[in-house]
Amino acid sequence: MALGADRYASRADTLVFIGCVLLSVAAMSLPDRVRDPFTRAVRQWVLAPLLALQQQTDLLSASLERYDAVVAQRDSAALAATFVPELRSENTRLRGLLGLGARLASGYVPAEVLHAAEPTSPLTFVVAAGRKQGVKPLSAVVSPEGLVGIVSTVDAQTSVVVSWAHPEFRASAMAADGSIYGIVAPHGTEGPRTWLLELQGVAYRQLVPEGTTILTSGLGGVLPRGIPIGTVVRAAGEAEGWERTYLVRPAVHPAAVTHVMILTGPPVKSDLRSVFQSGGETP
Amino acid sequence: MRRSDKYRFWVILGVLVVLQFSLRGRLGGDRVAPDFLLLALLIYTIRAAPGPSAGVGFLVGLLRDALTPASFGAGALAHTLVGYLSSWSKAVFFAENLFVNGCLFFAGTWFRNLVVALASGKLKGGLLGWELLVWSPIQSLTTAVAGVLVLWLFGRHLAIRLSDA
């Protein structure tokens, strides 16, 4: 086909144009029985590759859109799945807390832990119960597993709790059978040692077997008797041959606690050992 | 015109045809996306004589009519008119200028839609007004933009001399 850059319409051009117009008009007046086979043939033989291309492109486009939707659904499912163990754990903790409340009968305030996004938050944390709920300083803060800490400062609606991991925490403790007494304090102030306790002041002649449960002794009148503190892991050292120190694995980790009980008054039972032992049997 | 330029010319037109059946579906609705097939025809008419332009327009229209049998013949007539008038008016009136070519693409698209709408008789009243005053101008604009882009990128290969005016 000749291509000319500068040209006007020649007679041949005009004749071609008129012929095409007439053919177009004739095509418009074609009856369906002639038109349909013609258009079908054009689609099947001339336009087939282009229509196939269009079909593939549409499929690809739809696939991409479906892929996005599938990826979004998968992400949502994965996100939901990550929360399932967390929800189950929290559910178990809440059930345990409810059971503990029922066993304590009275003299406690339930509170939600207001976690702060700071590395030091497990040392001290804020709970959503304060003076208006009857919370007092030095009240024991417990979870179904055992002692979490003691109340340090009380505001109208909130309280600051010093957990057992805080360097200033101390509690009078005893073995579960009452044979050994000592003072429980944090094992260290830095690194992983922070998350262990130690039982200090045990008489040298008294050996504490591994696995012994350590409870609050109630001596000093601050903490009620019988709240689990942890389990003896091993001996940590001796001091001048007259006392022994033992490492204690805490019963509860402050960072894992979402709800607590604050013991605000004298409990029905003077020894809470049975309350927490029952808690261990709760599913 | 060099021999390699001639091949490139047909390759570019071929690419536009492929784009019509591949990319166009992803550029918005049918009524607003650029018409690459008509663009290929209009670019062809810039260099071809009015007779061949009318013939090619007729064939392009006939192919399109095969996809829209309800208005069979209207597309052939519209593309014949657009092809002939575009080629003729380019020779008589228009300079080789990017903006002028853009206007040609715009007018060609709008005129094609006008002829198809009138010749098919499918659109009447308000629908015809919407088609000619809203949808057609939008499609004409997108087609003109695409055409200007093609000429700007490949004008050298299409052997179309573009002045700065």
Chain B, 34 to 53: residues with Cβ < 8 Å from chain A are 47-52
Q: What is chain B's alpha carbon radius of gyration, rounded to the nearest angstrom? A: 15
pLDDT at A203 over 70: yes
Position A1 confidence tier, pLDDT thresholds 50, 70, 90: very low
pLDDT at A2 over 50: no
Instruction: Indicate if the alpha-carbon torsion angle A17, B150, A52, B5 is positive or negative.
Output: positive
Question: pLDDT digit string (tens) for A24-62?
Answer: 999 988 887 888 888 888 888 888 888 888 878 878 888
pLDDT at A199 over 50: yes
Structure tokens at A235: 């001996």
CB contact under 8 A, B50 and A28: no
CB nearest A20 (choices: B21, B65, B80): B80
Q: Which residue of B has its CA nearest to A60?
A: B22
Fold of B3-154: Arp2/3 complex 21 kDa subunit ARPC3 (1.10.1760)
Q: What is residue A137's DSSP assignment? A: T
Question: pLDDT digit string (tens) for B46-88?
Answer: 888 899 999 999 999 998 888 776 678 899 999 999 999 999 8
CB nearest B66 (choices: A1, A24, A42): A42
**Per-residue pLDDT at A37:** 85
Question: pLDDT digit string (tens) for B116-162?
Answer: 888 887 777 787 888 889 989 999 999 999 999 998 888 776 766 55
Cα angle: B99, vertex B103, B105; to 5 degrees: 115
Structure tokens at A43: 């689609």
A43 close contact with B: CB closer than 8 A: yes
Q: In angstroms, what separates the C-alpha of B139 from chain A's closest C-alpha?
A: 20
B146 close contact with A: CB closer than 8 A: no
CB contacts, 8 Å: A24 with chain B: 58, 61, 73-74, 76-77, 80
Q: In angstroms, what separates the C-alpha of B126 from chain A's closest C-alpha?
A: 24
Which of B60, B81, B84 should we substitute to test contact with A (largest number of A Cβ atoms within 10 Å)?
A: B84
Q: Where are the domains of chain A?
A: 107-281
Fold of A107-281: Thrombin, subunit H (2.40.10)
3-state secondary structure B60-125: HHHHHHHHCHHHCCHHHHHHHHHHHHHHHHHHHCCCCEHHHHHHHHHHHHHHHHHHHHHHHCCCCH
**Per-residue pLDDT at B140:** 94
A26 close contact with B: CB closer than 8 A: yes
Q: In angstroms, what separates the C-alpha of A69 from chain B's closest C-alpha?
A: 18
Question: pLDDT digit string (tens) for A253-271?
Answer: 887 787 888 988 766 567 7
Across chain A, what does the average pLDDT equal?
81
Cα–Cα distance for residue pair B13/B1, rounded to 1 Å: 17
Q: In angstroms, what separates the C-alpha of A75 from chain B's closest C-alpha?
A: 26
Q: Where are the domains of chain B?
A: 3-154
pTM of the model: 0.53
**Per-residue pLDDT at A283:** 37
pLDDT at A23 over 80: yes
Position B4 confidence tier, pLDDT thresholds 50, 70, 90: low
B80 close contact with A: CB closer than 8 A: yes
CB contacts, 8 Å: B73 with chain A: 24-30
A12 close contact with B: CB closer than 8 A: yes
Q: In angstroms, what separates the C-alpha of A33 from chain B's closest C-alpha?
A: 12
Confirm if B30 and B37 have CB atoms less than 8 A apart.
no
Question: pLDDT digit string (tens) for A118-144?
Answer: 545 567 788 888 888 889 899 999 988
The proportion of chain A whose per-residue pLDDT surpasses 90, expressed as a percent, equals 17
Q: In angstroms, what separates the C-alpha of A88 from chain B's closest C-alpha?
A: 46
A75 close contact with B: CB closer than 8 A: no
B12 close contact with A: CB closer than 8 A: no
Identify which of B16, B83, B54, B71 has the alpha carbon closest to the alpha carbon of residue A39: B71
Structure tokens at B104: 């040609």
The proportion of chain B whose per-residue pLDDT surpasses 70, expressed as a percent, equals 89
What stretch of H or E contains A110? strand A108-114
Give the ipTM of the model, two decimals please. 0.84
Confirm if B83 and B53 have CB atoms less than 8 A apart.
yes
Average pLDDT estimate for A81-96: 77
